[in-house]
């Protein structure tokens, strides 16, 4: 009989999140050679989990859920307890953090005392980061990296940092978790970053490398952006909503590119390419986006080790698995420039 562990379980779409006992998962014995990029599983004892909007949205709306009951949770950090047969690059005792498979039953949900991390979406935790900071990294940084380096096809900061010195990028929603990583990554690529946030977060965003920080509530925001770019803006990443994607469309040049994370533009602009960023697809796409994700993960990992990007500010919630349902309600009410992280033990 397998050992029992505590986890946050969802039994049906829109149902209550309940803390109960589930079977301790076991890592898949060997990599699935049919899936490009798949490297097999690690069993990880969880130390911290970060809460993401997708977690409460999944519970309420039921998207990206392959079956019930399911343990949700997408961001976690912990210590490797077992390594799937054939998995290379990881050992028992490694300190790691990961973006876990969204809504896949069978031990992949992070809201649990033990979870399976797919090796391809697992980072080695840089030793200078705390467990709380580590959990805040995977979903936010990987979404930002996909948007910039896959959707917008910008050069990697590890390849040619000064390539785009004269080029602007608009990152709408810079103080969000995804936005804070996007600002840092884009600045590392060498772009001149224009971003938006509430005035209380402007100094924080300048400290992350933004050149221009604007109040998104300013009635003349479009004019302010146009005056900075002199009507020449090729790149925009929107992490907030359809409404802000529409504003991004307005300020992009005709040959511009918009990547949106949280809502498509409802307007159109001739000549502008728009593309949707979907981190959740990466574990589901048999054509190999997990391979792309793994390549970007290595870039983010290197930048973290070199201290060229830093984690989100975190607010720590004590209480382990039991504290997660209330933590998600707190996140749903809204946070500003911080990640909520639940600490285990």
**Interacting residue ranges for ligand NAP, rule: CB under 6 A:** 52-54, 57, 139-140, 143, 172-173, 175-179, 196-198, 201, 216, 239-240, 244, 261-262, 277-280, 335-337
Rounded CA separation 68/273 (Å): 38
Q: SS3 string of 183-204?
A: HHHHHHHCCEEEEECCHHHHHH
Minimum separation from the CB atom of position 138 to ligand NAP (A): 10
Neighbours of 97 (CB within 10 A): 32
Minimum separation from the CB atom of position 250 to ligand NAP (A): 14
Instruction: Confirm if 109 and 73 have CB atoms less than 8 A apart.
Output: yes
In the complex with ligand NAP, the residue whose CB is nearer, 143 or 292, is: 143
In the complex with ligand NAP, the residue whose CB is nearer, 267 or 345, is: 267
Rounded CA separation 41/226 (Å): 48
Determine the distance from the C-alpha atom of residue 49 to the mean position of all C-alpha atoms in its chain, rounded to a whole number.
13
Instruction: Confirm if 252 and 116 have CB atoms less than 8 A apart.
Output: no
Angle between helices 221-229 and 242-251 (to 10 degrees): 40
Radius of gyration in angstroms for the set of CA atoms belonging to the chain, rounded to a whole number = 20
Minimum separation from the CB atom of position 197 to ligand NAP (A): 4
In the complex with ligand NAP, the residue whose CB is nearer, 87 or 258, is: 258
Minimum separation from the CB atom of position 281 to ligand NAP (A): 8
In the complex with ligand NAP, the residue whose CB is nearer, 140 or 311, is: 140
Neighbours of 270 (CB within 10 A): 5
- Provide the greatest CA pair distance for the chain: 67
Instruction: Confirm if 296 and 322 have CB atoms less than 8 A apart.
Output: no
The token pair at 52 is 């993401």
Rounded alpha-carbon distances, angstroms, from residue 5 to 19, 114, 324: 10, 7, 15
Minimum separation from the CB atom of position 171 to ligand NAP (A): 10
Minimum separation from the CB atom of position 241 to ligand NAP (A): 7
Minimum separation from the CB atom of position 263 to ligand NAP (A): 8
In the complex with ligand NAP, the residue whose CB is nearer, 87 or 170, is: 170
In the complex with ligand NAP, the residue whose CB is nearer, 6 or 284, is: 284
In the complex with ligand NAP, the residue whose CB is nearer, 113 or 229, is: 229
């Amino acid at each position: 009989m397998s050992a029992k562990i505590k986890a946050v379980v969802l039994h049906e779409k829109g149902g209550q999140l309940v803390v109960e006992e589930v079977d301790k998962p076991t890592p898949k014995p060997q990599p699935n050679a049919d899936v490009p990029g798949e490297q097999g599983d690690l069993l990880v004892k969880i130390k911290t989990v970060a809460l993401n909007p997708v977690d409460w949205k999944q519970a309420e709306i039921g998207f990206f859920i392959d079956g019930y009951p399911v343990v949700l949770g997408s961001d976690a950090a912990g210590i490797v307890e077992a390594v799937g047969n054939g998995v290379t690059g990881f050992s028992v005792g490694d300190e790691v953090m990961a973006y876990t498979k969204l809504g896949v039953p069978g031990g992949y949900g992070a809201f649990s005392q033990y979870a399976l991390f797919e090796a391809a979406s697992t980072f080695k935790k840089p030793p200078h980061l705390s467990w709380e900071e580590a959990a805040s990294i995977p979903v936010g940084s990987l979404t930002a990296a996909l948007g910039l380096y896959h959707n917008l096809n910008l050069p990697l900061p590890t390849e040619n940092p000064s390539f785009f010195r004269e080029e602007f990028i608009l990152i709408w929603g810079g103080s969000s978790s995804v936005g804070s990583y996007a600002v840092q990554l884009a600045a590392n690529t060498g772009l001149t970053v224009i971003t938006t946030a509430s005035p209380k977060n402007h100094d924080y965003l300048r400290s992350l490398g933004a050149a221009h920080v604007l109040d998104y509530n300013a009635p003349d925001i479009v004019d302010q952006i146009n005056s900075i770019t002199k009507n020449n803006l090729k790149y925009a990443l929107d992490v907030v909503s359809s409404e802000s994607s529409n504003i991004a469309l307005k300020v992009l040049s005709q040959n511009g590119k918009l990547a949106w994370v949280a809502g498509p533009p409802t307007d159109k602009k001739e000549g502008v390419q728009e593309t949707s960023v979907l981190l959740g697809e990466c574990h589901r796409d048999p054509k190999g986006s997990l391979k792309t994700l793994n390549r970007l993960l290595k870039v983010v990992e290197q930048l973290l080790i070199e201290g060229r990007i830093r984690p989100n500010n975190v607010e720590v919630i004590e209480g382990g698995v039991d504290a997660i349902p209330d933590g998600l309600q707190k996140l749903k009410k809204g946070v500003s420039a911080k990640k909520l992280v639940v600490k285990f033990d």
